[in-house]
Structure 1
Amino acid sequence: MTLTSYINDLLYRYDCVIIPNFGGFVTNAISAKVNHFSHTFYPPTKQITFNSHLKNNDGLLANHIASSENISFEKASEKISAVVKSWNVQLKTEAVVIGKVGCLSLNKEHQLIFEPNSESNYLIETFGMSALSSPAVKRLEYQQQATKLTPVIARKKSSPFLKYAAAAAIFLTVGTIGWNGFQNNQLKEQYAKQQLDVEKKIQSATFVIGDPLPTIQLNVAKESPKNFHIIAGAFEFPENAEKKLRQLKAKGFNAEIIGKNKWGLTQVTYASFETRAQAYKNLAKIRDNYSEDAWMFIKKLH
């Protein structure tokens, strides 16, 4: 995987990702918005900014690369430095595209300018939810039409035609209210369907974020079904996954290879558990004692 891919993955899980000696991407959750001119609803998202003063190596990115590629922290840091050098050279002549995150360029004062990718949403709660447009409801227009018919009906009560016109006006008003209710129900159903799709996408994602809980022993009472997996790493080459598996087993973990993810990377677990609670508790212990980059993956294994 490229450095931009690692940055992209970490932004789903953390609020700040620092590229040593270059700068840091900072996220800030923003609420849903409505554009009253285009009648468009925008879901909640994470707003991404770039801070060129965040250059100190906090170890997050290097540790993530080291764990994913099964290399040392020093090797991972060297990889980051090499990419940063190439970016600095490229910025002198053209913009640098940071994967799905956004684009960096230099202004006339040689300051870094960041333009985020508006199509990317790093907020897990609304992952995959797109903007929704709804046609404007023209209540005033129908109300004026009904008002024009009312005086005529009052003056000529004896005319059968006007009686039908009055009935039509009432039907038009009721029909308008019904249509407005139908539009509102459609809008609610559309949002409910999107929310269901979001939950399905989160369920099939390669990581689940959660707050660490108090630690307990790693032993579990039952063996199957175990659908909650604590991931130690994902590897491009199967031999690296086998090597990681042997290392974890040597440390006493009930490690397994659970197949490939949607990017074709072979995933290795520390252990798998029957319930979400068991997995969260053991994830906290692993993060405290072995690797902060461990994360939980939910998948039913066949």
Structure 2
Amino acid sequence: MNIDSYISQLLYRYQCVTVPGFGAFLTETQSAQWVESANSFFPPKKMISFNTNLKNNDGLLANHIASSENKSYNYAVNAIEYQVVKWKKALESNEVLVLNNIGTLRLNADSNLVFKPSEQTNYLSSSFGLASFVSPVVKRELFEQKIEAIVERAPITLETEEEEATSSRSYLKYAAIFVLGLGLTGSIGYPLYQNQIATETVLVESAVQKQVETKIQEATFFIKNPMPAVTLSLSEGKLPYHVVAGAFRDEKNAIKISKKLANEGFKARLLTINKHGLYPVVYGSYATLAEAEKAKREINESKNPEAWVLIEAL
């Protein structure tokens, strides 16, 4: 059995996934990064590390394999032990152990395990769909300097008296033609101008009327004696907001976790089986979303960073 994929699935939801007798893969959230020298942006992600000192079986990986394969817990434990033996033999033979979507493991000169995480997979679910990208450098041109350079290079021409006289006569000729054109344009274009003014006046009046109608529709009317506010309350026990600790396929595991949370002081309870065939366990249920979000933030910081809010009247 190749357990790489099962470890990878658990890394999306948990900070620590232990492989009994081998070590533990740990995740740590890293903020978004901007590398100015390379003009590159990297989204938030989970950094993966490996700790050889954490080898005790916490049941997480074995339970997940048993549920996914529809096998017994003991079968999953034996499968993990067999895989660990194969991994150790490969490492002792100075082979590089490649774990798909997780990273590589090898022994260094001092026979210590060296782990190199994979850069291809981002296990932070909130960054789904975000990818790194390189932004090209924005080139800014100094147009003022270019204009000054053009002005400095522009040639200066001097006109003689004869050329000035010729130029003056040309200007007079063009001015006479322009005045004649103005007379013709005035006699023909004035009625057209009046029609254009009338058309624009109608358009302006229509626009003003639309603005007045919009203001009337958006107006707020105040009632001196308003009706008292109506408060709706849920029936007793029907709290719609729940902070979920996890969902388990095995009801016994769900009951065990529920009791553990209750002993820690939470108003934990086990919900009925959902449409996915899982038994959700909640830290507590709340009447408002604000209360549930506040409790979730506190639990994320102190207990379980993967806790989430379920909205359903139960």
State TM-score, norm by structure 2.
Answer: 0.49
Give yes or no for the alignment of 1:267 onto 2:264.
no
Indicate whether 1:258 and 2:274 are aligned: yes
Query: Equivalent residue for 1:164?
Result: none
2:4 maps to amino acid? T
**In 1: Cα distance, 2:254 partner to 2:95 partner:** 45
Alignment partners' CA distance in 2, 1:279 and 1:151: 63
Matches within 5 A, 1:12-161: 12-36=12-36, 38-52=38-52, 54-57=53-56, 59-60=57-58, 62-63=59-60, 65-66=62-63, 69=66, 77-91=77-91, 92=93, 94-107=95-108, 110-139=111-140, 142-143=141-142, 145-153=143-151
CA-to-aligned-CA distance 1:202-222 (integer Å, 9 cap, x gap): xxxxxxxxxxxxxxxxxx945
Superposed displacement of residue 101, structure 1: 1.4
Alpha-carbon distance change, 75 to 278 in structure 1, aligned in 2, over 3 angstroms = farther
Deviates most, 81-90 or 145-154: 145-154
Contact map agreement 2:40 2:134 (CA 8 A) in 1: yes
Report deviation, 1:137.
0.5
Secondary structure of the corresponding residue to residue 41 of structure 2: strand
Alpha-carbon separation, structure 2, partners of 1:82 and 1:300: 43
Matches within 5 A, 1:172-187: none
Question: How far, CA to CA, are the matches of 1:293 and 1:37 in structure 2?
Answer: 33
Structure of greater Rg: 2
Amino acid of the structure 1 residue aligned with 2:32 = A
Q: Contact 1:273/1:279 (CA < 8 Å) preserved in 2?
A: no
Contact (CA 8 Å) 1:42, 1:130: kept in 2 or not? yes
Local SS of the residue matching 1:48 = strand
The 1:253/1:148 distance shift into structure 2, 3 A limit, reads closer
**CA displacement 1:59-106 (0-9 Å, x = unmatched):** 43x245337736887665444322211222333374333232112234
Shift, 1:267, TM fit? 2.7
Deviation of the 1:228 alpha carbon: 6.2
Pair 1:151–1:98, CA change in 2 (3 A): closer
1:233 pairs with 2:244: no
Q: TM-score, normalised by structure 1?
A: 0.51
Where in structure 2 are there 5+ consecutive unaligned residues? 158-234, 260-267
Structure-1 separation of matches of 2:311 and 2:83: 34
Provide the secondary structure at the position in 1 that maps to 2:101. coil
Is the alpha carbon distance of 1:115 and 1:245 closer, same or farther for their aligned partners in structure 2, counting shifts above 3 Å? Answer: closer
- Secondary structure of 1:97's match? strand
Pick closer, same or farther for the CA change 1:297–1:268 going to 2, 3 Å: farther
Instruction: Name the amino acid aligned to 1:258.
Output: N
Residue identity in the other structure for 1:267: L
Q: Structure 1: 5+ residue runs without aligned partners?
A: 160-219, 235-240, 261-265, 286-291
Q: What is the distance in 1 between the residues matched to 2:21 and 2:155? A: 85
Residue 280 of structure 2 aligns to which amino acid in structure 1? T
Question: For the structure 1 residues 21 and 65, does the alpha-carbon distance in structure 2 shift closer, same or farther, using more than 3 Å as the test?
Answer: closer
Determine the C-alpha separation between the residues in 2 that align with 1:28 and 1:128. Answer: 19
Measure the CA separation in 1 of the matches of 2:305 and 2:41.
35
> Does the 8 A contact of 2:33 with 2:42 survive in 1?
yes
d(CA) in 2 for partners of 1:294, 1:36:
32
* Paired-residue identity, %: 28
Shift of 1:114: 1.9
| Cα distance in 2 between the residues matched to 1:152 and 1:295 | 66
In structure 2, relative to structure 1, the CA distance for the partners of 1:93 and 1:112 (3 Å cut) is same
Number of residue-to-residue matches in the alignment: 217
Name 1:8's counterpart in structure 2. 8
The CA distance in 1 between the partners of 2:82 and 2:293, in whole Å, is: 37
